[in-house]
Amino acid sequence: SQTIHQWPATLVQPVGSPLSLECTVEGTSNPNLYWYRQAAGRGLQLLFYSVGIGQISSEVPQNLSASRPQDRQFILSSKKLLLSDSGFYLCAWKVAGGDEDEQFFGPGTRLTVL
């Protein structure tokens, strides 16, 4: 069966510090991968998506970046965090080319920037 892992679960970082969040998927090959951010009580904002190794599409211009060094690994990074980067970060995967649009979400990382 497929599983998706995210770490860390929670993170408190000072403004201006770097960030690296990792997401890995098991039990599937060549998935579409997504990074979302969710502010408290709000919807999901798509940040990045990837359809293959090294292929990253950015949806929102900001100080974040993403990379996909391996088929089932997706990394979200920042060189200098802003207060506005606080939120709940969710990684998700989907079967590439599937008829449905079912996305499977990881447990998330709650980031607080102070």
Partner 1 sequence: GQSLEQPSEVTAVEGAIVQINCTYQTSGFYGLSWYQQHDGGAPTFLSYNALDGLEETGRFSSFLSRSDSYGYLLLQELQMKDSASYFCAVKGGGFKTIFGAGTRLFVKA
Considering only residues 93, 106, 111, 113, which one is a binding residue for partner 1 as defined by CB under 8 A?
106
Site string for partner 1, 34-73 (x = CB under 8 A): x-x----xxxxxx--x-x-----x-x--------------
**Does residue 102 bind partner 1 (CB under 8 A)?**
yes
Looking at beta carbons only, is 43 or 54 nearer to partner 1? 43
CB of 16 to partner 1, least distance (A): 28
Looking at beta carbons only, is 23 or 75 nearer to partner 1? 23
* CA–CA gap between residue 87 and residue 93 (Å, rounded): 20
Region near partner 1 per CB under 8 A, out of 20-28, 67-75, 79-87, 105-113: 105-113
* CA–CA gap between residue 18 and residue 29 (Å, rounded): 30
Query: How does strand 109-113 pair with strand 10-13?
Result: parallel
* CA–CA gap between residue 36 and residue 49 (Å, rounded): 9
Q: Detail the DSSP E strand segments found in the chain.
A: 3-7, 10-13, 19-26, 32-38, 44-52, 55-58, 64-70, 73-78, 87-94, 104-105, 109-113
Kindly state the number of chain residues that form the binding site for partner 1, as judged by CB under 8 A: 24
What are the residues binding partner 1 (CB under 8 A)?
32, 34, 36, 41-46, 49, 51, 57, 59, 90, 99-108
